[in-house]
Amino acid sequence: MAVTERRPSKALFAAALTLPGLAATLVQAQAASVPTQTSLELQYSHYQEFQPRAERMEISAPSLFVIAPVGDQWAANLFLTTDSMSGASPLYHDTLSGASGESINDFRKAGSINFTRYFERAALRFGGAYSSEDDYIGRSLNVGASFDSEDRNTSYDFAIAVNRDGIDSTNGVAEQETRRGEQLSVGLTRVLSPSSIIAASLGFAHGSGYFNDPYKPLDKRPDGRDETTLLVRYNKYYNNADAALRLSYRYYQDSWALDAHTIDAAWEQNLAHDFILTPSLRYYSQGKADFYVDPPFGVGFSPNRNYSADARLSAFGAWDLGLKLGLPEFAGWRAEIKFEFYRQKNSWALGSGPAELAPFSARTWQLGLRHSF
Amino acid sequence: MQLHQKAFRAMASQCEIKLWSADVQQAELVLQAAVAEVQRIEAKYSRYQAQSVISQINANAGISDTIVDAETAALLDFAQQCFEQSDGLFDITSGVLRRAWDFKSHRLPSQADIDALLPLIGWHKLNWQRPNVRLRLAGMQLDFGGFGKEYAADRAASVLIAAGMMHALVNLGGDVRVTGPQSDGTPWCIGIQHPRHADQAIASIAIGSGALATSGDYERYMVINGKRYAHLLNPHTGYPIACAQSASVQAPLCVLAGALASCALLQGAGGLEFLRAQEFAFLWVDDCGLAISS
């Protein structure tokens, strides 16, 4: 009998899923499930940049995340973080080293709190966030809702948010400037099979106010920015390998004519003794904003026109390689260590690249500790 | 969060449901609803209850079609897959052999008894065209015993999930389905019965989701002149299959786990290779009592 050549389990699984009510018992995409435990996560990450002939910037960021059930139908989550930056802001152009190699020491603190109310097949949430640093204050409020279909194989999500920010640069260029924004997003998550799931979301954001970089000379940008983001994620679990594949694609486009593609892939491998190893790879490519100009300034520069030499608005591509190791639970705690290496180059952008700017690298270490009780 | 449990007898087995809930009253109501679901399936598909769907189909054997509802139709489709995927060994018409094999009598049937029954066996002798089903020959019998208990475990789990009980376990005579891990996130620890020592576990398996089902040669058997005759009968020959002692399979659904475990045992010595070719975790106890896991 040639049974070893076949996979009867596939046909049987498909038939079993047509039995009344059984497919719904496998659903993973539930909007409405109240957390039953309090979980606390501490994270520390350290980021360091490298660039030829430049001082490097370092960022250390400890953060705390708590999610806790409140009564039977509510959950609260709280997020707090601080960044401390030291060194020099990245040097994007050799030719502008004097202008942007300015040494900085900045400290940012940020926090958010969100509440979720769970219903039988729906969840409603609202919350706010605040962040503050020397020259910038960010405030935002958000409301969202998600709904499960009757078979719980599909869930829909809607969210709106508003932000009101204040900018006061330390060099006096920007004084009591403001920026405001409104965001809207819709999402759909669908269980494709007991081991695979797909999610897509579309987001729109409208911003107005002060967008210039006060620390960059002659930087002048439009006073509004409309952004559209499409995100598609696909996760599949492979029983044979005891591993999960996570893929995502993100498309971004804004009214500054800047567009970007991000492709992310991660392979989450369960190992013996409860270790989890996750290698990941990301590719990012963006086109330049329409008012971006490669330095040095060309002839014909006009002070009334939008203009920026900020390399973040130039066309570039970047690769990011990551490796994460999850350690087995110990005394109720789980730890995770992650290392990421990032490298960015103008010539890696999709399509033709502009003049080559100094390539730029960064590495990130991250240590996370999680406890549930 | 507290653990609530209910033990009961159904489908000729010892059964229990456990769930973690903060609300005592709600837990009790949900437990009752889940038990009622198991009893509903037992009543609907029992061979012993004259009003059951199975009894009606069997009573109409050789006479007329029986119109079945969507649930029964889905189970018949599942039975067809079991038949096809096991190369005809998992056949829900083979229960008629019970007339010859009485494992309580400790007496072997005569070849003539078996020969008389073999013509009444065969999925192909069943007309199944949704929603009409008919056993073509008088005397043929359908039996959902090969997956009824596993299906009931999944259905009980669906009742628990609909009530938001995501930390619950259903155990129907060793066929287990969970709706999620225990409330503290730790998996349920499930012992697999030793095939030769009913009160001992040969292994224990931690499951946080899905199901675990076991099929064994020890459920009904007799030993005559030192030879063991188990209830797993080959539908082609009418004789017990020389098989392993037990097969346990872990799969997302109990009805799937159970069907794979049964298919494996029915393959005889080839069962181990069969299990290795599937993508699910298993424990195989061979005819000598040697345990092999995936």
State whether residue A73 sits within 8 Å of chain B by CB.
no
Distance separating alpha carbons of residues B106 and B114, to the nearest angstrom: 16
SS3 call for B90 = coil
Distance separating alpha carbons of residues A188 and A119, to the nearest angstrom: 18
Q: Are B265 and B242 in contact (CB under 8 A)?
A: no
Q: When comparing pLDDT for B290 and A6, which is higher? A: B290
Q: Are A241 and B294 in contact (CB under 8 A)?
A: no
Distance separating alpha carbons of residues A186 and A188, to the nearest angstrom: 7
Q: Which residue has the tokens 């730890």?
A: A335
Sorted by sequence, the CB contacts under 8 Å of residue B270 that are 6+ apart come out as: A1, A3, A4
Cα distances (angstroms) measured from residue A345 to each of A86, B86, B188: 24, 57, 51
**What's the rounded mean pLDDT across residues B107-132?**
93
Flag whether pLDDT at B203 surpasses 70.
yes
Q: What is the pLDDT of residue B219?
A: 76
Q: What is the pLDDT of residue A240?
A: 77
Nearest to B183 among A15, A19, A36 (CB): A36
Give all strands (DSSP E) within chain A, no chain letters: 39-50, 57-70, 74-88, 103-118, 122-133, 136-148, 154-167, 177-193, 196-209, 224-238, 243-254, 259-270, 276-286, 316-326, 333-345, 360-372
A103 to chain B, closest Cα gap in Å: 48
**What's the rounded mean pLDDT across residues A68-78?**
87
pLDDT in tens, A12-46: 888 888 888 888 777 544 445 667 678 899 999 99
Closest CA in chain A for residue B154: A22
Q: When comparing pLDDT for A1 and A272, which is higher? A: A272
Q: What is the pLDDT of residue A355?
A: 60
Flag whether pLDDT at A101 surpasses 60.
no
Any idea which of A115-119, A120-124, A259-263 has the lowest mean pLDDT?
A120-124
Mutate to test the interface with A, among B23, B90, B256, B272 (most CBs of A within 10 A): B256
CB contact under 8 A, B161 and A1: no
B107 to chain A, closest Cα gap in Å: 32
Cα distances (angstroms) measured from residue A85 to each of A57, A65, A366: 7, 21, 16
Q: What is the 3-state secondary structure (H, E, C) of B31-71?
A: HHHHHHHHHHHHHHHCCCCCCCHHHHHHHCCCCCCEECCHH
Token pair for B176? 């287990």
For residue B224, what pLDDT band results from cuts at 50, 70 and 90? confident
Nearest to A7 among B151, B270, B278 (CB): B278
In the A/B pair of chains, how many CB contacts fall below 8 A?
109
- The two counts, helices (H) then strands (E), for chain B are 7, 15
**What's the rounded mean pLDDT across residues B78-87?**
93
Backbone angles phi, psi at A152, to 5 degrees: 60, 20
Whole-prediction pTM: 0.57
Token pair for A302? 């006009």
Q: What is the pLDDT of residue A89?
A: 53
DSSP state of B163: T
Nearest to B278, CA basis, from A9, A223, A110: A9
Nearest to B85 among A11, A36, A37 (CB): A11
Nearest to A240 among B87, B255, B279 (CB): B279
Q: Which residues of A touch B44 (CB under 8 A)?
A: none
**What's the rounded mean pLDDT across residues A266-288?**
93
A278 to chain B, closest Cα gap in Å: 22
Q: Which residues of B touch A72 (CB under 8 A)?
A: 22-23
State whether residue A272 sits within 8 Å of chain B by CB.
no
Nearest to B284, CA basis, from B225, B182, B214: B214
For residue A92, what pLDDT band results from cuts at 50, 70 and 90? very low
Distance separating alpha carbons of residues B279 and B294, to the nearest angstrom: 10
State whether residue A194 sits within 8 Å of chain B by CB.
yes
Distance separating alpha carbons of residues A12 and B252, to the nearest angstrom: 12
Closest CA in chain A for residue B165: A33
Give me the DSSP letters along B113-149.
HHHHHGGG--GGGEEEETTEEEESSTT----GGGTHH
Q: Are A277 and A266 in contact (CB under 8 A)?
A: no
Flag whether pLDDT at A2 surpasses 50.
no
DSSP state of A329: P
Nearest to B262, CA basis, from B157, B149, B99: B149
Q: Which residue has the tokens 């017990």?
A: B240
Dihedral, CA of residue A178, residue A227, residue A363 and residue A353, to nearest 10: -120
Dihedral, CA of residue A93, residue A98, residue A99 and residue A100, to nearest 10: 60
Q: Which residue has the tokens 């999925």?
A: B123
Distance separating alpha carbons of residues B263 and B241, to the nearest angstrom: 12
**What's the rounded mean pLDDT across residues A301-317?**
82
For residue A343, what pLDDT band results from cuts at 50, 70 and 90? very high
State whether residue A304 sits within 8 Å of chain B by CB.
no
Distance separating alpha carbons of residues A71 and A69, to the nearest angstrom: 6
Mutate to test the interface with B, among A6, A22, A120 (most CBs of B within 10 A): A22
Backbone dihedral region for residue A257 (phi beyond 0: left; psi -120 to 50: alpha; all else: beta): left
Distance separating alpha carbons of residues B189 and B172, to the nearest angstrom: 15
Note the Cα A177 to chain centre separation in Å: 27
Q: What share of chain B is helix, strand, coil (3-state, %, to 5)?
A: 35, 25, 35
Flag whether pLDDT at B83 surpasses 60.
yes
Flag whether pLDDT at A218 surpasses 90.
no
Sorted by sequence, the CB contacts under 8 Å of residue A280 that are 6+ apart come out as: A264, A265, A266, A267, A320, A321, A322, A323, A324
Nearest to B158 among A4, A5, A21 (CB): A21
Cα distances (angstroms) measured from residue B242 to each of A291, B87, B239, B246, B268: 80, 17, 9, 12, 6
End-to-end CA distance of chain B: 35
Q: Which residues of B touch A9 (CB under 8 A)?
A: 251, 256, 260, 278-280
Between CA A301 and CA A310, with CA A307 as vertex, the angle to 5 degrees is 125
State whether residue A273 sits within 8 Å of chain B by CB.
no
B225 to chain A, closest Cα gap in Å: 31
Average pLDDT of chain B to the nearest whole number: 91
